Amino acid sequence: MRVPVLAYHAVNIAGNDYAGNDLVAFAADLRLIDDLGLRIVPLHWVVEQLTGAAERDLGRCVALTCDDGSAFDFHDLVHPAHGPQRSLYHCMLDFVAERGADAQPDLHLTSFVIASPEARERMDQVCLAGLGWMGEDWWRDAAESGLIAIENHSWDHNHPCLETPGVDGMPRGSFLDVDNHVRAEAEIAAATRFIEARIAPRPTRIFCYPFSHVPEYVHREYLPQFGHEHGMTAAMGDGAMPVTTGADRWNLPRYICGWHWKSTEALRGILAGS
C-alpha cells in the first residue's frame, strides 16, 4: 500500500483560480487523478487496510479529505467577494456527470468537522464572512449521500479566535496544549459523541489534528490507549508522503492543497512520485 491522501480547505477562497481557490483546485484535481489512471478510494479503506480490518487492492489509489467542515463542503454558495462557488460535493457530482459513474466507482471524500456550535459560530463571525458557513445542517445529508464521510476534527480546534480558555485552563491557539487526559477527552471524545448524535447510525472513526499539531500525549498515550472512550481507529496529520503499510496509524501523513502543492503540475509531480 502506498496511497497519497490529499487535503483541501473549502473556505480557502481568495479568488477564482487554482492557486487561490481550493474548490477550483479540487474540481481540476479530480480530472487530473482520473487522467493519470489513478483510483480514488474512501479514506476509511486506507485505514482498514493499515489496521488489518480489511484486505483490498489499493495499488495506484488516492484518498481525498477536507478540513474544518464549512458549508462549502456540501452547499453551493455565493462568496461576497468572489461570487458563486461550486461545493466540493457538487464538484464530485459534476465529475460523475462528465465522465460517468464507472470512471471512479469508489469516488469519496472525508470531511473533518468541528463539533462545538459555539466555536463554529465564533469562527464564522471572526474569521469568515459571518454568513452562517460553519453550520451543521448539511452533515446528515452529506453522510447519507454515499460520497462524503463526516469525521472528527476536534471539539473546537482550540482556535485562537475563541475568547475564553479551554477546559482545564487550556490556552487558545495551539493544539499542542492538549497535553493531558482531561483536555484530550474534551477535545476528542466529546467531539465524537456530538458528531455521532447528528449522523447516527453512522460512526465517526478517524481523527484529524487541528493545525496539523500532534501533541505527544494525544499521539503516544490518549489515542492508542483510550479507544473505548474516543472511538477513533486512526488520526491524520500532514507529513507530505503517501500512507504506506508501515505508517503510524496515529499520525498518518497527508498532502495539503496550497501548502504542499499550488498547481496542477505540482500535484502531478506528487502523484507521479507516489
Question: Stretch 157-167: mean pLDDT, rounded?
Answer: 96
Is 16 a residue whose pLDDT tops 90?
Answer: yes
Is 273 a residue whose pLDDT tops 90?
Answer: no
How far apart, in Å, are the Cα atoms of 174 and each of 32, 152, 166, 214?
35, 17, 11, 10
Please give the helix or strand (H or E) that residue 92 lies within, else none: helix 88-99
Binned at pLDDT 50, 70 and 90, residue 35 comes out as very high
Q: How far apart are CA 223 and CA 66, in angstroms?
A: 21
Residues written for the chain = 274
Q: Which residues constitute the domain of residue 125?
A: 2-273
What's the CATH number where 184 sits? 3.20.20.370
Q: How far apart are CA 88 and CA 9, in angstroms?
A: 10
Question: Stretch 249-271: mean pLDDT, rounded?
Answer: 98
Of all residues in the chain, what percent carry a pLDDT higher than 70?
100
Binned at pLDDT 50, 70 and 90, residue 274 comes out as confident
| Domain count of the fold of the chain | 1
pLDDT digits (tens, 9 = 90+) for 48-76: 999 999 999 999 999 999 999 999 999 99
- Cell numbers 477562497 label which residue? 13
User: What's the chain's average pLDDT?
Assistant: 97
Is 211 a residue whose pLDDT tops 90?
Answer: yes
pLDDT digits (tens, 9 = 90+) for 100-156: 999 999 999 999 999 999 999 999 999 999 999 999 999 999 999 999 999 999 999
DSSP per-residue letters across 110-139: EEEE---HHHHHHHHHHTS-SSSTT-STTH
Inter-residue contact 152 to 191 (CB < 8 Å): yes
